[in-house]
Structure 1
Amino acid sequence: MQINGKTSVLVHLAYPAEHLQTPQLFNPRCTELGINAALVPWQVSPKRLADTMAVLRCAESLAGAIVTIPHKEACARLCDRLEGVAETLQVANVIRREADGTLTGRILDGEGFVGGMRKQGINLQQRSALIVGAGGVALAIAAALIKAGVIRLRIANRTTQRAEAMVARLKLLSTAHAVSIEVGTADPTGFDIAINATSLGMRDGDPLPIPIDLIKPDMIVAEVVMVPRVTPLLQAATDHGAIVVPGEAMIAGQIDPFIDFVLGDATKRHTA
């Protein structure tokens, strides 16, 4: 990769940012495709997010941004427009800067998550899933699971009110799908799939998001945490005979969609 005056710059908004793995996948893929673009991490605290988004509108070399914890819902509110399911859910994890400086957001987490599971040969139709967490990534994953044919979905969150608000949003999408959606505990008993959609496991000493003694053999246990690759939850699930899906699978499934959404025109304008 050669950075020059024609490079399309993307920033990865996160807080903290040291765990980010997307640039390590995104930048080599752009090189492989001959696209003159680069993604760089930006650590931005929530209290400075609005200021940062205002700056993004002014930078003409900026093509867009990728967004992760804890900014996905706040960034959606700061976009000028949202496309696809992002508009219904009011959450975004990728933003395109338009030529006039306005910002367009989409959510691709769910597509990436489902794509990662399918690459492992996991069939989601007629399955039941427990999601722990009620933030932007949990919301996107839940929406994608509904579209993929899951018939029962439980949302477990430390704050019940937040889980109930998430379920209310999901029910706007579920009218065309035969799915039962509920708020409940993180007990995975009776579920085919258990998903940690929180940041628990990223730091030493974090509690397990799901009671590990209740995980059964052949249950599918999935993560959104990417660092460490094998979280304490995934290790314990493996020890219990479960099928595990690491967090990097969700990101790997989004790299090309990120490029298509943000750099579609740039592939013609800014070739290396």
Structure 2
Amino acid sequence: MSTSSHQITGHTRIFGILADPIHHVKTPQGLNALMQRVGYDGVLVPLHASADDLASVVAGLRLLRNLGGFIVTVPHKTTVVDLCDEVSESARLIGAVNTIRRAADGRLVGEMLDGHGFVAGLRQNGIQPAGRSAYLAGAGGAANAIAFALAQAGVSRLTIANRTRAKAEDLASRLAGAFPTLHVDIGSPDPSGHDLVVNATSLGLKEGDPLPLDASRLTADQTVAEIIMQPATTALLAAAQARGCRTQPGQPMLDCQLELMAKFVGMEP
């Protein structure tokens, strides 16, 4: 049955998205439209949860018998791994989860789809990672997923730059174990010398945020990609466009994940 906000009943399956802040999320619009399109009686709502309250919130959610699952975004993707009863092998290796299915017995099963969505979004716009050198700003949950997905997609070289060097080194070590032939470096804020430049941090989400890298070093032959969806044109993308770079906004990463998310949590008519 098709559903909308005017047709929610006691039969409607509930889904949520956990974030802090919550104002920027775009997943509810996308997944609610998808459920309506395929005739699934469900609704996805934003749930504002702080890092301090996350464990309590998740403990409560698992008790809701009409909850189908939830999406997890900044800043909870790494913390929520240990709150799941089971995660996929790839999510465990990545160290982050962004989609969780609630089983009938209340068990929480997690998966990480950010990387798959990011690479699919690139390919959808004619950007093929294979054989390219990539610079990745960040080493958090989304960055980990994207790093593994870029490695799987066949990048020739990957440079990881993060404010906390130890986190970059930890990611590089796990990548080396999974992809022993991939050349991985620990980088600086300078993104020069790479074909693909990716911001996988949350910098740019808030007005006045510093840039995640030294945009003055960007050159017109580079492609600069974002994971932030709002604003659609971040300060980094604006700076990249001013320097003649090809740019990729964050929205395609989500668009390419929607069906994967829906299938994982069981949104089937």
> Is 1:213 the equivalent of 2:216?
yes
SS of 2:40's equivalent in the other structure is coil
Q: 1:200 is matched with which residue?
A: 203
SS of 2:71's equivalent in the other structure is strand
Q: Choose from 219, 237, 241 the match for 2:244.
A: 241
Q: 1:69 is matched with which residue?
A: 74
The correspondence of residues 85-124 of structure 1 with structure 2, limited to 5 A, is 85-124=90-129
The correspondence of residues 1-272 of structure 1 with structure 2, limited to 5 A, is 1=4, 2-175=7-180, 178-263=181-266, 266-267=267-268, 271=269
SS of 1:29's equivalent in the other structure is helix
SS of 1:46's equivalent in the other structure is coil
SS of 1:155's equivalent in the other structure is strand
On the 8 A contact 2:95/2:144 being kept in 1, the answer is no
Shift of 1:218: 2.7
On the 8 A contact 1:9/1:64 being kept in 2, the answer is yes
Equivalent position amino acid for 1:102 in 2: R
RMSD: 1.1
TM-score of the superposition, structure 2-length normalised?
0.96
Shift of 1:225: 0.9
Matches of 2:26 and 2:205 in 1, distance apart? 13
Equivalent position amino acid for 2:222 in 1: M
Equivalent position amino acid for 2:114 in 1: D
On the 8 A contact 1:57/1:97 being kept in 2, the answer is yes
Shift of 1:172: 2.7
Matches of 1:42 and 1:252 in 2, distance apart? 20
Q: Alpha-carbon deviations, 1:135-155, whole Å to 9, x = none?
A: 000000000000000121111
Shift of 1:200: 0.8
On the 8 A contact 2:68/2:102 being kept in 1, the answer is yes
Shift of 1:184: 1.4
Shift of 1:241: 1.1
SS of 2:78's equivalent in the other structure is helix
User: Number of residues paired by the alignment?
Assistant: 264
Q: Alpha-carbon deviations, 1:194-251, whole Å to 9, x = none?
A: 1111111111111111211111113110011111000111111111111111011111
On the 8 A contact 1:130/1:186 being kept in 2, the answer is no
Q: Alpha-carbon deviations, 1:116-147, whole Å to 9, x = none?
A: 00000011111111111110000000000000
In structure 2, list runs of 5 or more residues that go unmatched.
none
Equivalent position amino acid for 1:44 in 2: A
SS of 1:6's equivalent in the other structure is coil
Shift of 1:186: 2.2
SS of 2:238's equivalent in the other structure is helix
SS of 1:38's equivalent in the other structure is strand
SS of 1:163's equivalent in the other structure is helix
Equivalent position amino acid for 1:207 in 2: P
Q: Alpha-carbon deviations, 1:1-43, whole Å to 9, x = none?
A: 1211111111101011011111111101110011111111111
Matches of 1:37 and 1:174 in 2, distance apart? 39
On the 8 A contact 1:77/1:90 being kept in 2, the answer is no
Q: Alpha-carbon deviations, 1:49-85, whole Å to 9, x = none?
A: 1111111110001000100011011111111111141
Equivalent position amino acid for 1:179 in 2: L
Equivalent position amino acid for 2:142 in 1: V
In structure 1, list runs of 5 or more residues that go unmatched.
none
Matches of 2:241 and 2:155 in 1, distance apart? 23
